[in-house]
Chains A and B, each alone.
Chain A
Amino acid sequence: MPEMSTAEDRLLTGWGRTSPSRAALTRPRDVDELASVLSSSRRGTPVIARGLGRSYGDASQCGGGIVVDLSAFNEIGPVDRDSGLIEVGAGASLQSIMAATVPEGWFVPVTPGTRQVTVGGAIASDIHGKNHHRDGSFCSHVAKMTLVTPTGTHELSEELDPELFWATAGGMGLTGITTTATVEMIPIETSYISVDEERFEDVDSLMAEMRRSDSNYHYSVAWVDCMTRRGGLGRSILTRGEHARRRDLPTAKRSEPLVAPVQARLRVPFRAPNGLLNAATISAFNELWFKKAPRKKSGAIHSLSSFFHPLDGIADWNLLYGSRGFLQYQFAVGDDHEDCVKSAIELLSSHKVPSFLAVLKRFGQGDPGPLSFPIKGWTLALDLPVGPRQLPSVLDELDSLVVGAGGRVYLAKDSRLRPDLLAAMYPRVTEFEEVCRRVDPDGLLNSDLSRRLGIRHPGATWRE
C-alpha cells in the first residue's frame, strides 16, 4: 500500500483567482489519516480544509501551511424514504448528490448558484439559495455532522453541542474539519421548475414587488443592471419559481419527469486576455440579457440546471476574467435599510465600475451561527473584474456604507474587506473565537482569510 496520501506542494487560489498562496495539499483517505494530519501539525503548521475551491477569495487557502482536500470523503448514502434524511461525506459535491437523488425524487434543501460545491463547503459558509426567505440557510437543514478537531472528534447536532454546531455553521472551516453530515432532502415530483419572470424599469418598483409577493414563491431572485441608467436606476429582472408538478410539464416530458443534472463538459477554449471583460463588453452582455427577458411571463418550464446553475454549463468560466482575476462583493442589510442597496448601486454606477448583473435577494431570518452571513432583509451580490483603478477605494467606501447600515459582507466571497470592520459586521466574532479555542487551543486551524481579517485573533490583523 502506498504511504499516506502524500502531500503535494500546490499554488492555490479561490474561484476569483486572486492572491495565490502555496501550501502542502494533502488528501487523507479516511478519518485516521485525517486525524494524523491534524496531530502532526501540532508542531504549529496551520491547517485548513478545502472543498471544491468555489469560495471566491482565500477561505480555503493556507500559505505555508497544510490544506486538506476532502475529496476522498465522497460517499453518498441512500435517502431515507420517511424522513428524507441522507448521510453524505463532507467531500461529496452537490452535483454528485443531485445526480444520485434527483432520479429518485429528492432535491437538496438549499443550493447555491453552482452545483460544484461540497457539503463541507456548504456547511462552512452556511450557504443560502434562492429560497432563503422561506427555508433559511444550509445548516438549518443539517440534522447532524461529524467534526474532526485537533483535540478530538465530535458528533454534532443542535441538541448534542449547539455551541460547536452553530460555530461550525458559517465558521469558514476554523472550528475543525467536517467529515460527514446528515442532511434533510426535499421531495420533488419533477426535475423542473415552473418559472414566473417579470421585468422592472427601476430598483424601487422591483423591491416593492419582492416585498409584496416573494413569500408566495419557493424560489426568488432578481438580476439588477448597475451600469445602465435609462430612466430609473437599476433596471431588473425578477425570476421566481416553484418545483413543477408532473401535470405542469408538457406531455413529452411527463414520461421522464426526473432527470439528473449533468456535469459540464465545455471549457473555455482559449486563454482570455486581461481586460476582455471590461465596461464595454459587460454592458453589452447586460444589454443582451435584458433584451431576451420578457416583460412578464408566467409558468415557463425550466430545468433545475438552467434555473439554479446557469453558469455551470462551462466548467471554468472564471478564466474569462484573465490572469488578474475577479471578485464578488456580496453584502446583507436589514429590512429597514433598503436605501443601502440603492446607494450601493448608485455608488457603482456613478464611479462607472463595470459589473455584471447584480443579484438581489431577500433573506429570511438568520440562524444562530455567530459567523453565519444571512440576516433578515436584503442581499446584493456583484461580480467585479480586478483592474479598474477606482475599484479598491470604491469597495472600501461600500464597506463603510454597509457597516453604517448595520450590515455585513459574505466571508465566502470576500477577498479584500477592511479588517478593522470585521467586528462591526460580525459582532459575535469574539464568541466564535472562544468556541474555536475550546477545540483548538493552539490555534492550528487557520486560513489566509482568517489571517487577513484576524478572525481567529480578533483585534490583531494576523498571527503566525
Chain B
Amino acid sequence: MPDQLLFAMEVTLNGLMAGVLYSLVALGFVLIFKASGIFNYAQGVMALFAALTLVGIQDGQVPFAHLINAIFGTNVHHFGWHVPAVFAIILTLGVMVLFAIIVERYILKHLVNQEPIILFMATIGLAYFMEGFGDLMWGSDIKKLDIGLPQGLNETLESVTYGWWGYGFFIDNLDIAATIVAAILVITLTLFSQYSKTGRALRAVADDHQAALSVGISLRFIWVIVWSIAGFVALVAGVMWGAKSGVQFSLSLIALKALPVLMLGGFTSIPGAIVGGLIIGVGEKLFEFSIGPMIGGATENWFAYMLALLFLVFRPQGLFGDKIIERV
C-alpha cells in the first residue's frame, strides 16, 4: 500500500478516537437539552470540576484548605492518605450526584416554565460559580491526574502494522483506553435510554412534559437523573482529557469542542451526537493532514466550526434532528 494511504489511515484512526471523546461531551449536552430544554453552558466546567474532585480525593487533599487555614490560622493541606483510584472514582460519582440534586433543588425547581434563555443564563451563572467553587475547594494549581490508565505508544499495534505493510502506526495507549471507555459509555447510555423504564421515562419527559406528568413521572426526579448522568459523562471526559494534559482551567474548554458536534448532530439526537463527534474528529484530523500544510497548519482550531457552519446552512436541524416545521 502506498505510504500516503497508510498515513491517512493512521490519521483517520486517531481522528476516530478523538471523535469518540467529542461524542461523549456532546452527549452530556444532548441528554440535558432533551429532558429539560436547557442548553447547559456549565457542561465543560462540570468536567473540570469532576476531574479536580477526583484528583483531590485521590491525593487526600483537604477540601477548602485555603479557606480553613485563613479562618482558623491552621496549616492543613493533606490528610496524609492516598485513596485508591476505584474508590476515588466512586466517591467522585457520589459528589456529582450530590451536585445534580443541589442543582435541581436550588436552581431548576425555581425556574420551571421560564424562557429557555433564562435557563441558559442560569447555567452560565452556574458555570462561573462552579469554576470559583472548584478553585476554592481544591486550589487552582495545575494537577496531574493518574488513575493508572495505560500511557505511551502502543507497541503491539506498531509492530503488527509494520509487519503487514512495512509501516508502523503510532497510536497512544491512552487514546485507545479513552476510546474503549467512551464507546462503552456511549453504548450503555443509548441502551439505557432505549430499553430501561427510567430511560423510557426520560424520553417521555423529553417529548412532552404535560403528558409525562400525567402518566406519573416526576419531572424533578428525571432532572436529578439527567444531571447525574451528565455529571458522570463529565467525569469520564474530564478524566480522559485530564490524563492527557493535566487538570487545569483549559479542561473546561472541551465544551467548545462539543459545540460544532451539536451543530452537526442536532441538539436532541443521541445518534447525532455520536456520529457528529466521529465526523468532526476524523474531519479535522484529515483536513489538517491533507490541506493543513498548504495553508500554514493549525486548522484544528477552526475546522470543526467551519464544517458545522456549512452544515447548518444546508441542514439546520442537524444530521438526525427533527425537521422544524413552524405551525401556523
Partners in one complex: no
